[in-house]
Amino acid sequence: MTKAALSPQEPQFSPARAELDRLWARGRAFLGTEFAIMGGGMTWVSERSLVAAISNAGGFGVIACGAMEPDRLAEEIAATAALTGKPFGVNLITMHPKLDMLIDVCAEARVTHIVLAGGLPSSAAVRKIKDSGAKTLCFAPALVLARKLLRMGADALVIEGMEAGGHTGPVTTSVLAQEILPVITEAPVFVAGGIGRGEAMASYLELGAAGVQLGTRFVCATESIAHPRFKQAFIRAEARDAVLSVQVDPRFPVIPVRAIANPGTRRFVEIQRALIAKVDQGLLDQKAAQLEIEHFWAGALRRAVIDGDVENGSLMAGQSVGMVRAEQPVAEILAELIAQAEEALGRRREARR
């Protein structure tokens, strides 16, 4: 991958840079950052080191709370604040049994932005965050839900297409952007899912996005604590390798998760078939089989990210993984994205002359 960087000799406010700044001015103001680029909340990956690095480089880092207990989240927020004086946020899962306590932890730590993910949040959760003084960002998988979330009080939205890694929906980023960006203008909307280069970033900004969110692109950052084998799996992978979980039988639903195919992925299909056969033979009840299917991946993400078990662990990745070709410092990744966006905007500006 060409490692384009902003040269100190280049003018910082070229016409293309001025256009870029104009396009994402709303997002920059909302986040309080130099660039309207958010880091995705990736469990085990989006921790203090990567989050602080993204914020220090001009982006907006986001801690992935995941299944953390309140005390653990408080520790992570404090450790991140010790590494950066720049703005950063926290991603909370709406289904967490201690969501209210986690919001209290964020309020006590004076977290400025909270991203609610993993399902439609309750009005009470949104109100509690707003009462703390923090800004609330919610994921909107459809226009009707985008409108509902804004009525509930969300300050900004994230629209994430099925190209994204991890848990994902059924609609592509490009379709969601066309459906939502021209209509939702009363609040900032950030686009996520499948963004790996600055040209795509610029295109979504031109469609009306306030900014973007990238996850997969930052996994192989030098500052990422992901295991070297996990990073190598990303560097070797192509877009087609990041596939959705396979559901063998609609009687046994599987939540779609996008990850790089590995032996564990194939075993998951085999396990489903074996358990379903037992149910059909009357050797196992359906509830017990469903539970075993759901537990198959328990702890698999940690095994891959932290322990480096890329054979049996879960290699959650978006389809933009095909554009990850080397381990790079966060500042270099951001500079590359900015340079690509400026070049694309510059070409369009020249074409209009």
Interval 165-210: pLDDT, tens:
999 989 999 999 999 999 999 999 999 999 999 999 999 999 999 9
The reported pLDDT for the residue numbered 1 is 36
CA dihedral 180, 66, 335, 304 (to 10 degrees): -120
Query: pLDDT tens digits, residue range 126-166?
Result: 999 999 999 999 999 999 999 999 999 999 999 999 999 99
Query: pLDDT tens digits, residue range 2-11?
Result: 334 444 444 4
The reported pLDDT for the residue numbered 353 is 76
Share of the chain above pLDDT 90, in %: 93
The reported pLDDT for the residue numbered 350 is 80
Report the C-alpha gap between 155 and 29 in whole angstroms. Answer: 13
Interior angle at CA 152, CA 138 and CA 128, nearest 5: 80
* 300's tokens: 């698999």
Report the C-alpha gap between 171 and 175 in whole angstroms. Answer: 7
Whether pLDDT at 236 is above 90: yes
- Please give the average per-residue pLDDT across 282-302, as a whole number: 94
The amino acid occupying position 349 is R
Share of the chain above pLDDT 70, in %: 96
Whether pLDDT at 12 is above 60: no
Query: 208-240 as b/e, with b when 16 or more CB fall inside 10 Å?
Result: bbbbbbbbbbbbbbebbebbebbbebbeebeee
Domains in the chain, CATH or no CATH each? 15-226+325-348 (3.20.20.70), 238-316 (no CATH)
Whether pLDDT at 266 is above 60: yes
286-295 helix and 263-280 helix, angle to the nearest 10 degrees = 170
The reported pLDDT for the residue numbered 3 is 35
The reported pLDDT for the residue numbered 351 is 84
- Please give the average per-residue pLDDT across 312-338, as a whole number: 98
- Of the candidates 49, 88, 45, 27, the one whose C-alpha atom is nearest the C-alpha of residue 216 is 45
The reported pLDDT for the residue numbered 13 is 67
Furthest C-alpha separation in the chain: 73
Whether pLDDT at 40 is above 70: yes
Query: pLDDT tens digits, residue range 62-99?
Result: 999 999 999 999 999 999 999 999 999 999 999 999 99
The reported pLDDT for the residue numbered 205 is 98
Sign of CA dihedral 259, 260, 263, 266: positive
